[in-house]
Structure 1
């Protein structure tokens, strides 16, 4: 029988830790960006990152890692990506990395690391972290970007590990960190487990406060969506793209800056004449966000994994809040995202799959200058109150029993 995990409140503050997260250096948006932002707040000598080589995810890393941080990377042979049905070979092959990842974690622990923080979903890296923690009894903290999906809905080979290991990893973690209140409620309801909310922290110095750009009536409305487009989001994004195409009275262009492959987007009807598809690095994404007239965040209305859809909170939304640009959210009314918008009133929400309602909302954002300024002001205030990186970094260090002295000075107070 495994020993009961120690409570983080009973641990002495640690001076070094190891971060286990796939996709590092980060892609634009998602769990890798959350990891990069947090890791950047710590003294480089205090953290060791164990991650994947970019080739494992198709070479789509478009942001630099925090300077000075030690990173150990693993990856599958590049030739695997050229095989027929490469996606399936890669999905299975990644589990072959588990022994090497576990050894790297053990090596970091032997060099003084006293905590393991593993990002979810990062299978099979999470599995390797759990094995190393069990072997050494070093405290393991899991940090969840998404709700754990039911094992019946997971693809193979993930399904096997979801069924037989997921719950035990959650139960044996010293603490579970979650990115939103929705995930905390989900863990309580489904697993009877407590968790600590550690939100997506953003360095607001990279987004100087600004007012929305004035709109000229003769220019098209520039609607921008940035970051990874998840497969389940295609449906809602396609609805907006089609609505704009079918309404010539609304002069608008849609810009997607994403690491997704263009052919995948085209196969789902997202590559249309009024849609511009880009793949920009992080610093250029920030400029694109700030130059937009409307920033767009979507969730599916007819997704197959309802729990994942209803608890999701796209991390790009925090960047949108800071950008000083009006936000349009298209998500089901019962989703956490829609409820969050209603609570803080930082975005215009269309919570039904209705093209006419989308056009009405876009026209309001185009024509009502007062509305645009109100939304941008509330969004910036929400970012400052909830997502400022110094506050999030201190909460993360406290939750993981890390010494505040290993935070960089600008984030420690």
Structure 2
């Protein structure tokens, strides 16, 4: 499979329609909440571009108490993982498959009922749930409105081998053939899906960065004291969720930090508890855990760190999804004016994008010694840091929120309504 990252242009926005489109969004991560998917949706769905959207989610409890809410919110029922309970041992697998298929159809009925009086122009179904894409598609058929699949991750290979992957593979050709448009955040994922759905209309919409995320002045490690500033270790930063898709990269970094014996420390800002960090390889003396922080604070932290760490796992059970992953923080990191260290497999979107643009230091093999060398290099070479941050700033413009909004609105305006 071709994993190159061609320099395709984004869709060009046409004239804004006189009436703003009203969009229903079926998602596990409605804004405002801590997930990257929610941040992307929040930045795209703004009053100047769309009418108040209708969010439908089975994770309504995840909404943050603080934060702007734009649109209406509706709760979907939890999925049923079995048809009957209890089931005989011999029928357990069939019982689970039947229950999950029934959950998708039940969700279809819920979405249809909620949207009958909303007069939406399109239904957008998002990845992260095995039910939302098929349910949103079938609801769109019943309501006779266009369906748009928004693929934040590969809809099949985001799941480990098993029942969810089987279901996703079963549903994809159904909703894929009926989708008026498919949105992907990068070319690698778009090419993968195009290989399975050759007739699909696939568009690229980058995960956007607000203007507030762009730094006017590159910061990073002070040039006059490359390894330490006022006697402190060099500070690496990671912001966001910590989970299995990054585990081996974090383990390698932890080993490298131990070998560097206090010259570097990693600050992790995440909503997950410290036990989750330990489970994913971050339990050393040079790792500091911090609670999830508001987005404005996270941007400030990124600008004032010495190095930003971007990890993806080398031994994940979902290697295809790793290669096509587009972390929501990628654009923010590029815009921060701080050197980026990418530790991810060769051929992954993040690795090849930054390598081609010379916008980050890349370690694309699972080797703590290579990380030790990279950290030493980036801390000792001010010319390298300036070059990387300058190129990253240029690349960050591709992720500017207005460009993403133009691309998204271009997709919506192209739909036959």
Of residues 71, 74, 89, the one that matches 2:73 is: 71
226, 231, 248: which one aligns with 2:244: 231
Superposed, which structure 2 residues align to 1:391-410 within 5 Å?
391-401=403-413
Take 1:324 and 1:197, find their aligned partners in 2: how far apart are those partners? 25
Q: Provide closer, same or farther for how the CA distance between residues 352 and 269 of structure 1 changes in structure 2, counting only shifts above 3 A.
A: closer
Change (3 A) 1:93 1:305: closer
Runs of 4+ in 1 over 6 A off after TM superposition: 92-95
Q: Distance in 2 between matches of 1:100 and 1:138?
A: 17
Residues 34-53 of structure 1 mapped to structure 2, 5 A cutoff: 34-40=40-46, 42=48, 45-53=51-59
Q: Any conservation in 2 of the 1:121–1:146 contact (CA below 8 Å)?
A: yes
Contact kept in structure 1, 2:246 and 2:313, CA below 8 Å: yes
Alignment partner of 1:141 is 2:148: yes
- Offset, 1:100: 5.5
- Whether 1:175 aligns to 2:181 is yes
- Aligned: 1:19 with 2:25: yes
Q: Which shows bigger deviation, 321-330 or 113-122? A: 113-122
Q: Answer yes or no: is the 8 Å Cα contact 2:341–2:361 preserved in 1.
A: yes
Aligned equivalents of 2:54 and 2:402: distance in 1?
20
RMSD over equivalenced CA pairs, Å: 2.9
8 Å Cα contact 2:76-2:110 kept in structure 1: no
The 1-side partners of 2:367 and 2:147 are apart by 45
State the SS of the aligned residue for 1:242.
helix
Q: How does 1:82-231 map to 2 (within 5 A)?
A: 96=103, 99=106, 102-150=109-157, 153-156=160-163, 158-194=164-200, 195-215=202-222, 216=225, 217=228, 218-231=231-244
* Structure 1 residue 234, shift from structure 2 partner: 0.7
Distance in 1, Cα, partners of 2:37 & 2:205: 13
Residues 258 and 286 in structure 2, CA contact (< 8 A), matched pair in contact too: yes
Greater share of helix: 1
State the 1:184 CA deviation: 1.3
Shift of 1:43: 5.5
Contact 2:334 2:395 in 1 (8 A): yes
Query: What's the counterpart of residue 378 of structure 1?
Result: 391
- Residue-pair matches, total: 373
Q: Cα distance, 1:239 vs. partner?
A: 0.5
C-alpha distance in structure 1 between counterparts of 2:298 and 2:158, whole Å:
35
- Is contact 1:25-1:64 (8 Å) kept? no
- Match among 258, 271, 279 for residue 270 of structure 2: 258
Structure 1 residues 66 and 97, CA, compared in 2 at 3 Å: closer, same or farther?
Answer: farther
Cα gap change, 1:263 to 1:138, in 2 (>3 Å):
same
SS at match of 2:413: coil
CA distance in 1 between counterparts of 2:57 and 2:317 reads 29
Aligned-partner Cα distance in 2 for 1:137–1:154 = 34
> Quick check: 2:26–2:55 contact (8 Å CA) kept in 1?
yes
Q: Quote how far apart the aligned CAs of 1:102 are.
A: 4.2
Write out per-residue CA displacement over residues 48-106 of structure 1, whole angstroms, 9 at most, x where no aligned residue.
22223354xxx4x55855443222234659xxxxxxxxxxx9xx899758636743454
How much does 1:14 deviate?
6.4
Change (3 A) 1:302 1:382: same
Residue number in structure 2 paired with 1:290: 303
2:11 is aligned to none
C-alpha distance in 2, partners of 1:120/1:365?
A: 36
What pairs with 1:350-361 in structure 2 (closer than 5 Å)? 350-361=363-374
2:341 is aligned with 1:328: yes
TM-score in terms of structure 1 length: 0.81
Q: For the structure 1 residues 64 and 145, does the alpha-carbon distance in structure 2 shift closer, same or farther, using more than 3 Å as the test?
A: farther
Report the Cα distance in structure 2 between the residues aligned to 1:151 and 1:399, rounded to whole angstroms: 24
Q: 1:397 to 1:288 in 2, by over 3 A?
A: same
Name 1:31's counterpart in structure 2. 37
Q: Tell me the secondary structure at the aligned position of residue 196 of structure 1.
A: strand
Equivalent residue in structure 1 for 2:402, among 383, 390, 397: 390
For residue 214 of structure 1, report the CA deviation from its aligned partner.
Answer: 4.5
Query: C-alpha deviations, 1:313-354, integer Å up to 9, x for none?
Result: 212111101111110001122222221112111111111112
